[in-house]
Amino acid sequence: MSTTTVTELRRRTLVKSIVWRLIGVVWTWVGAYLIVLIVPAKARNAPVIATLVVAYHHSTRMVMYYAYERYWAGISWGKYDPRAEAFCPMSRRDKLLWTLGTAIAVLAIFLLIVYVGPLVKRA
Q: For the segment 27-55, what is each residue's pLDDT rounded down to a tens digit?
A: 888 889 889 888 888 888 888 888 999 99
Residue 82 has pLDDT above 80, yes or no: no
Q: Residue 71: inside a domain, yes or no? A: yes
78, burial (CB in 10 Å: exposed 0-12, middle 13-18, buried 19+): buried
The answer to whether the pTM exceeds 0.75 is no
Residue 3 has pLDDT above 70, yes or no: no
Q: Residue 94: inside a domain, yes or no? A: no
34: containing domain = 7-89
d(CA 65, CA 37): 26
The count of structural domains within the chain is 1
Q: Residue 99: inside a domain, yes or no? A: no
Q: Residue 59: inside a domain, yes or no? A: yes
**Residue 91's pLDDT is what?**
75
**Residue 86's pLDDT is what?**
67
Q: Residue 119: inside a domain, yes or no? A: no
